Every structure is written in structure tokens, then in C-alpha cells.
């Protein structure tokens, strides 16, 4: 299932899909199906335009980020903080050493802040090697070095280092929480990823307090044209598409109670 999901996403992400549609359109025209080929190419071109030169990606991502706002008061007195992986550049770390964070690095920066504000809380880090090769350390393993450098007692850490997907994060974490007798935990992950994560945890019977971070939008995005940042628009569209596809797929597979948890 892991490999299938990886391959499916390689095909379904916007720019890959546009490329495949263009190839299909050209093949159709080559086979004498001019009308069909032209229609496919026009659709691919429109998809590319929307992806690169509109704010559709920002708006779609913003809807996800706004689903679980961070509530006050601040998180103090917590017994457990769950941090979902996906924030370290594990391939780069393997080649160069040290610690390298990617765009989701706010998950672990926020976790350091929460750990200092809640000195008695356990930190459950869920994240294995999600690469095709499986040849690198997962986030759970790297996290021990990361937190240690910030003066966080690594004895507080609980490492769940086998998960490769969000579904596995939830399932494996649920088992550890039951074993350790921990409940009512904070869940730290990217704001756009929170709906899918919460839905999966709820399906496992685990109630968590969402603590979103790593916001990618301002919260004020409106649908319109934007010719100033095509690369960023494509990136936001890709991230949004992945989450929405994941929400629908997990619901259809019976892994969540609803398409868009709230």
C-alpha cells in the first residue's frame, strides 16, 4: 500500500498530471484522433495555467489550515505531546551529517517550545523513513539529536520510528499511547495536514488536542490571478492537492469517519 500510494501521487500531482495529459494528447493526435487529442491538450494547458498563475492553490490550502485553529489558552500542564514527522531532510543528513530541516521544520521548532513550557510532558515522535529505498534514518531517530541540542532531556522522548504514512502514524502511535497509559495529548503537525491527521487519530479512538503549526498561507487569500510567483503557486497547489486527495482516499478506504474532519 505504501508503494502504491507513492506511485499514485507521483502521477496525480498537478505538474506530473499536466505532463502526462500532454503526452496523451499528442499520442491521440498521432493516432488520428485529432479532436480528442486537441481536447486533452487544451485541458492540460488550462490545468497548467490554473496551477501556475492563479491563487487556487493558496485558497485550497487555506481552507485546510483554517479547519483547526490553535485555541488559547497556551498549552501548559500537558502530559503528552505527539509530533508527526516529515520535517527533516534525512537524505541530506545521511550525506552531510548535522541536522537539516525542510519547510515543515516548524513542527519541531514548536515542539521545542512546548517541551520547555511543559517540562513534565513526554514527547512522542512518530516518523520513519518514507523514502522509496528505506535507506535513511526516520524523523524519530533524528529527533533525539535535535532535541538534545536544545537541552531537552532525551529520556522524555518516545520514538515511533516505523511509520511511513499518516495512517501508520496514527495506528502505531495509538498502540504506544495505550501501552504507556497516556491520553489527551497535544498533536503537533502542519496546519494543512491537521484535518487528515485528526481524522485518522479519531478513527483509532485517540482524542487529541490539535496544535497546528507550519502555516503556508496568510489566511486572507482570495481566488484570482497571480502572475508574480508561479513556482510558489505550483508548490502550494501541489501541497493542497495532496492533502485533499489524501482526505478523500482515506475516507473511501474507511480510515476516517468523514471526508473533512472538524
- Mean pLDDT, rounded, for 32-37: 95
- Mean pLDDT, rounded, for 52-59: 98
- Give the pLDDT confidence of 164-223 residue by residue, as tens digits: 999 999 999 999 999 999 988 999 999 999 999 999 999 999 999 999 999 999 999 999
Inter-residue contact 41 to 22 (CB < 8 Å): yes
Three cell numbers, residue 94:
545521511
Inter-residue contact 237 to 62 (CB < 8 Å): no
Note the pLDDT of residue 127: 93
Which one, of 67, 79, 161, 145, lies nearest residue 114 by Cα? 79
Average pLDDT, the chain: 93
| pTM to 2 decimal places | 0.92
pLDDT above 90 for 11: no
Whether the bond into 73 is cis, omega within 30 of 0: yes
75 confidence band (pLDDT: 50, 70, 90): low
pLDDT above 90 for 70: no
118 confidence band (pLDDT: 50, 70, 90): very high
**Pairing relation of β-strands 122-126 and 208-213?**
unpaired
Note the pLDDT of residue 132: 66
9 confidence band (pLDDT: 50, 70, 90): confident
- Mean pLDDT, rounded, for 112-137: 87
Give the CA angle between residues 125, 142, 114 to the nearest 5°: 45
pLDDT above 90 for 46: yes
Note the pLDDT of residue 184: 84
* CA–CA distance, 261 with 207 (Å, rounded to integer): 13
Which one, of 173, 170, 177, lies nearest residue 193 by Cα? 170
Note the pLDDT of residue 8: 80
Amino acid at each position: 500500500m505504501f508503494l502504491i500510494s507513492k506511485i499514485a501521487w507521483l502521477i496525480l500531482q498537478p505538474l506530473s498530471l499536466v505532463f502526462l495529459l500532454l503526452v496523451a494528447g499528442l499520442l491521440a493526435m498521432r493516432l488520428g484522433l485529432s479532436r480528442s487529442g486537441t481536447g486533452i491538450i487544451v485541458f492540460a494547458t488550462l490545468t497548467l495555467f490554473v496551477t501556475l498563475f492563479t491563487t487556487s492553490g493558496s485558497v485550497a490550502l487555506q481552507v485546510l489550515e483554517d479547519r483547526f485553529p490553535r485555541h488559547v489558552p497556551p498549552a501548559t500542564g500537558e502530559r503528552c505531546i505527539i509530533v508527526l514527522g516529515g520535517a527533516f531532510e534525512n537524505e541530506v543528513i545521511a550525506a552531510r551529517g548535522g541536522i537539516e530541516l525542510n519547510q515543515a521544520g516548524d513542527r519541531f521548532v514548536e515542539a521545542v517550545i512546548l517541551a520547555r513550557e511543559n517540562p513534565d510532558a513526554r514527547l512522542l515522535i512518530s516518523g520513519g523513513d518514507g523514502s522509496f529505498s528505506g535507506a535513511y534514518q526516520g524523523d524519530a531517530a533524528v529527533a533525539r539529536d535535535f532535541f538534545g541540542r536544545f537541552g531537552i532531556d532525551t529520556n522524555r522522548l518516545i520514538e515511533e520510528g516505523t511509520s511511513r504514512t499518516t495512517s501508520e502514524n496514527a495506528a502505531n502511535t495509538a498502540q504506544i499511547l495505550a501501552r504507556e497509559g497516556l491520553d489527551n495529548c497535544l498533536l503537533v503537525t502542519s496546519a494543512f495536514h491537521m484535518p487528515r491527521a485528526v481524522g485518522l487519530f479519531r478513527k483509532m479512538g485517540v482524542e487529541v488536542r490539535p496544535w497546528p503549526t507550519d502555516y503556508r498561507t496568510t489566511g486572507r487569500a482570495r481566488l484570482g490571478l497571480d502572475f508574480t510567483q508561479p513556482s510558489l503557486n505550483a508548490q502550494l497547489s501541489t501541497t493542497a492537492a495532496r492533502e485533499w486527495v489524501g482526505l478523500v482516499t482515506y475516507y473511501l478506504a474507511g480510515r476516517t469517519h468523514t471526508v473533512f474532519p472538524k
